[in-house]
Amino acid sequence: MVVDVDGNSLIDFGSGIAVTTVGNSNPRVVAAVAEQVAAFTHTCFMVTPYDGYLRVAERLNAITPGDHEKRTVLFNSGAEAVENAVKIARAHTGRQAVVVFDHAYHGRTNLTMAMTAKNMPYKHGFGPFAGEVYRAPLSYPFRDGGLDGAAAAARAIDTIDKQVGATNTAAVVIEPIQGEGGFVVPAPGFLAAMAAWCRDHGVVFVADEVQTGVARTGALFACEHEEVMPDLIVTAKGLAGGMPLSAVTGRAEVMDAPHTGGLGGTYGGNPVACAAALAVLDAVEEDGLVERARAIEATMVPRLRALQQGDARVGDVRGRGAMIAVELVRPGTTEPDAALTAQVAAAAHAEGLIVLTCGTWGNVLRFLPPLSIPDHLLDEGLDILERIFRATR
């Protein structure tokens, strides 16, 4: 629950955009942070290394997909980690081009603005943008006529071949389930086909799991649903329970490519943030949060599908785990209805439920409850949504 300055209580279906996965002020996180603050708050890892950083790196190396040798480097924000993944891929391949997808969101820094698809509000008036960023078509089952994963991958690969060239391509960067772009779940096989193409052509396959990572989707990492093993995986948000921390984790031979001192930053892997991350990873394991995310999906999806059955404005229900969305359209079409989406979100807030919108057309309502949400609040939040949909008919 979020309590505002006027004393109103709101059920949180947002988690501060997928950050407070273990709940806000999770007792384990609070205790770990307090202990670390009392010990030391900063040394700069590049000057005086400390144990917490190494333990976070070892944990991420162990829990990310694949049992190959890995390395991890820590930063502060999702965008910073995405930028560094690109730097690492370029150093490893000696190539420059970066391929991203339609509807992608990777951040607001100069390089990541170039990688982000949507102009307003992320890019408008903020150019010029970084070069050597190319955009390929995504698999978007609701909007591409149900093109299967293999066909959608063939279409993307054709674009890359014709417009970029494999031998110029350092990295393909993709969100396994898109976040800001509309919780788009690619058709089965799409991610695997893209990863296979990368493997065949020496291109670094980078999974941006900033929003999907750390148990959110009912797996530790969303790539696992498709049995895809990224070369580099980027995490942030849910990793440290609200403390700013991000990571790039990946194949040792790729991660070792940059020269010594080539990657860094004053605060990256801050000890307090690392202490929080270790507590988050303990909570995920010991409290069974991957299973909890699946249980949340099992509650949410049938109720939203039932809503869809009786309401043609709900064009699509999709997502995994505790990352679920509905795409709103004009009945009988796929024409986006952003006005209805904004209306439902505003009504939800007024009724005591925090929901977020997303999508290129602003017509997707997304639900990202903390995995600590009790069943009765989850049900109550869904009751509120159902009521609003009925009232706006």
Q: 102 vs 180, which CB is nearer to ligand PLZ?
A: 180
Specify whether the CB–CB gap between 171 and 185 falls below 8 A. Answer: no
CB of 29: closest distance to ligand PLZ in angstroms?
18
Q: 73 vs 314, which CB is nearer to ligand PLZ?
A: 73
Q: 78 vs 242, which CB is nearer to ligand PLZ?
A: 78
Q: Which residues pair with 329 in a beta bridge?
A: 336
Q: 180 vs 231, which CB is nearer to ligand PLZ?
A: 180
Specify whether the CB–CB gap between 182 and 325 falls below 8 A. Answer: yes
Q: Which residues pair with 9 in a beta bridge?
A: 3
Q: Which residues pair with 207 in a beta bridge?
A: 174, 233
DSSP string computed for 36-55: HHHH-S---TTTS--HHHHH
CB of 181: closest distance to ligand PLZ in angstroms?
8
CB of 208: closest distance to ligand PLZ in angstroms?
5
Q: 108 vs 123, which CB is nearer to ligand PLZ?
A: 108
State the residue number with the nearest CB to ligand PLZ: 78
Side chain identity at residue 352, one-letter code: G
**For the CA atoms of the chain, what is the radius of gyration?**
21
Q: 105 vs 140, which CB is nearer to ligand PLZ?
A: 105
Q: Which residues pair with 247 in a beta bridge?
A: 74, 235
CA atoms within 13 A on the CB side of 186: 30
CB of 257: closest distance to ligand PLZ in angstroms?
22
Distance CA 271, CA 176 (A): 29
Q: 245 vs 329, which CB is nearer to ligand PLZ?
A: 245
CB atoms inside a 10 Å sphere around CB 293: 25
Residue 284: which of 26, 2, 30 has the closest Cα?
26
Distance CA 144, CA 344 (A): 26
CB of 71: closest distance to ligand PLZ in angstroms?
21
Q: Can you read off the two tokens belonging to residue 136?
A: 């390929």
Residue 366: which of 376, 379, 353, 383 has the closest Cα?
353
CB of 122: closest distance to ligand PLZ in angstroms?
7
Q: 17 vs 166, which CB is nearer to ligand PLZ?
A: 17
SS3 236: coil
CB of 123: closest distance to ligand PLZ in angstroms?
12
CB of 278: closest distance to ligand PLZ in angstroms?
19
Q: 70 vs 103, which CB is nearer to ligand PLZ?
A: 103
DSSP string computed for 147-180: --HHHHHHHHHHHHHHHT-GGGEEEEEE-SS-ST
Distance CA 43, CA 307 (A): 53
CB of 265: closest distance to ligand PLZ in angstroms?
13
Question: What is the binding site for ligand PLZ (CB under 6 A)?
Answer: 17, 77-79, 82, 105-108, 175, 179-180, 208, 210-211, 236
Q: 83 vs 327, which CB is nearer to ligand PLZ?
A: 83
Residue 73: which of 87, 293, 119 has the closest Cα?
87
Cis peptide leading into residue 65 (ω within 30°)? no
CB of 47: closest distance to ligand PLZ in angstroms?
24
- List strand residue ranges (DSSP E) for 214-347, in order: 232-235, 246-251, 314-320, 323-328
